[in-house]
A and B are shown apart, each in its own frame.
Chain A
Amino acid sequence: MIKVEQLTKKYPGVTAISDLSFEVGKGEIVGFLGPNGAGKSTTMRILSSFMPATSGRASIAGHDVFSDSLRARMHLGYLPESVPLYGDMRVSEYLRYRGSLKGLSGKKLRNRVEVVKELCSVKDVENQLIATLSKGYRQRVGLAEALVHEPDLLILDEPTIGLDPNQIRQVRELIKSLGERHTILLSTHILSEVEMTCSRVIIIHRGKIEASDTPENLVGQIRTSGTVKVEAKTGSDDPVQMIEKIPGVKNVSVNMEDGWQQCSIRVEANSDLREAIFRLAIARHWVVRELTQERATLEDVFVELTQADD
């Protein structure tokens, strides 16, 4: 659906993205991650034909975004980061205007406007001036607008920014349900959201792709060591000394609370030492009330990839 080849964009004095190449297949929901200023919005603006790249090519549904941009734009619903809307228009009026601009007319237009109003739950403000809407409603009107012509591809630049937790959940559910029929490329800083909605993640940093894989694989590959937590009554034993003898343990820190030793054990990547610790506890007659392995999260991956060389 999206094909990006060696895309480079230079602003005077700054290279926003350099030599970016990736593909997004039909039906995928791809999370586009990166620190602020990494080039996410620039990439999205080039994909949406808002501005041309310095070099390289990008196409949407087989149409080049520069030379065949009108047809590429027909396949695209785009929600810019700042959600710019005309404050002087009413919600229904705005959606009708945008629908008609995107080639809908007559009965089809009326139907689609009704459908997206329902879908994005903006029905209750349909006759309000957009200028009077709250941030959450504006965001959803923007989303409804992006959807109005049933585009094959949705590009959403931080669709949940500025929303409250309930609204974030609603939008997340909405995006998930849209993923059944649309291809979606979305950028966000809320990583838990990506883990829940996206089938693939592309992480970019300083204009270059650092990683592109499923969230699970990325978390699995992470080099940072994991942590095992143990809470036990160890009697006269010194747990630190004993646990450190287990192969694969990097270091152990202990905290005493109400007679319970709370050990935090850093272990090497991709190793599960819970069984070894369990056997040790049995051998030494420790009373164990917690033994858990803390999993690395996408956040760890993000931090590792984008901070490594800072």
Chain B
Amino acid sequence: MRRLLTLLRRELSVFYYSPIAYIVLFFFLILNGLSFWFAIALLNRAPSENTVVQVFFNSAFFWIAYLLVFPVITMRLFAEEFKLGTIETLMTAPVRDWEVVASKFLAALIFYLSLWLPSLLYFIVFGWLGNRSAIGSAGQLWAPYLLLLIMGMFNVALGCLASAFTSNQIVAAMISLVLTIGFFFLTLINYVVNNSSPFLRDITAYVAQLDHMDSFSRGVLDSRVFVFYPSMTFLLLVMTYQVFQYRRWRA
């Protein structure tokens, strides 16, 4: 456990020491700010049944920020160790392979979650300034953040796997971008296919990130999400572990 913490501290410090964290945060804040501004502008124009939270989490700005952030934060994780050769010093220290995978995954997840903190501040300040009803209930505010955690786990694990495949960060980012966006577009099968079967609709209900966010931001929690994403995350991390070990052993 102590080793895991040591590794985790190292992985986190890489995020916060490098300028890339602040560049990511900068663009992330711009997109979040646009999304929030858009939400307020929309609600100011006409009466609506939607809360600010709902509009914020269903805007295009939000989804762009959400989907683009994963390749950027995960591309370095394994690829850089292979590229620099530090994998050799890392893995000849008395650490277990799963500890390395877990520490990298957790560090990326923590960094990802920290990116959302400023947006939480928007809502708190907005509600505090007197527009409590426009936020909705506390549950309606927390639910989308819970979903961000759960879907984030899955996408960070996807990025980990992509990074374990290659020694080139750009290639890792590309693989991860294609997988992330490809998975996101599975949502749209229902909208594209005419008269889609109930079976197809059942399947897509598991993977439809757009629909998840729509319901969570209304405060409706879908239990399928709690089963599908954590189990997929686990599966992806096991795959990452295997790929990581395979590449090292073949080296």
Contact = CB atoms under 8 A, between A and B. Distances in A.
Interface of A: 45, 48-52, 70-71, 73-74, 76, 78, 80, 82, 84-88, 97-98, 100-103, 105, 145
Given A80-B88, A97-B10, 14 more contacts: A45-B251, A76-B92, A80-B89, A84-B84, A84-B86, A85-B89, A86-B84, A86-B86, A97-B6, A100-B6, A101-B93, A102-B93, A103-B94, A105-B2
Interface string B103-123: 000000000000000000000
B10 A85 contact: no
Contacts of B84: 84, 86-87
Which of B6, B84, B88, B93 has the largest number of chain A CB atoms within 10 A? B93
B14 interface: yes
Nearest to A97: B10
A101 B92 CA distance: 11
Q: Which 3 residue pairs spanning A and B have beta carbons closest together?
A: A84-B85, A73-B94, A48-B92
B86 A50 contact: no
Contact of A50 (B10, B91, B94): B91
Contact of B94 (A52, A70, A84, A145): A70
Contacts of A70: 94, 96
B85 A82 contact: yes
B18 interface: yes
B56 to A, nearest CB: 35
B250 to A, nearest CB: 8
A80 B88 CA distance: 7
A73 B2 contact: no
B89 A51 contact: no
Nearest to B17: A88
Contacts of A97: 6, 10
Contact of B6 (A78, A86, A101): A101
A80 B10 contact: no
B7 A51 contact: no
Nearest to A105: B2
B107 to A, nearest CB: 14
B206 to A, nearest CB: 38
B251 A50 contact: yes
Contacts of B201: none
Contact of A78 (B17, B92, B250): B92
Contacts of B92: 48-50, 73, 76, 78, 80
Interface in B45-70: none
A80 B89 CA distance: 7
A88 B21 CA distance: 14
B248 interface: yes
Interface string B203-238: 000000000000000000000000000000000000
B2 A51 contact: no
B132 interface: no
22 contacts: A45-B251, A48-B92, A50-B88, A50-B248, A51-B248, A51-B250, A73-B92, A80-B88, A80-B89, A80-B92, A84-B84, A84-B88, A84-B89, A86-B84, A87-B84, A88-B17, A88-B18, A101-B3, A101-B95, A103-B3, A103-B94, A145-B89
Nearest to B248: A51
B88 A101 contact: no
Nearest to A77: B92
A170 B83 CA distance: 30
B249 interface: yes
B7 A101 contact: yes
Contacts of B18: 88
A50 B247 CA distance: 11
A45 B7 CA distance: 22
A48 B92 CA distance: 6
A97 B14 CA distance: 13
A51 B246 CA distance: 10
Contacts of A85: 86, 89
A47 B17 CA distance: 34
B251 A51 contact: yes
Which of A84, A105, A145 has the largest number of chain B CB atoms within 10 A? A84
A73 B89 CA distance: 11
B249 A98 contact: no
A90 to B, nearest CB: 10
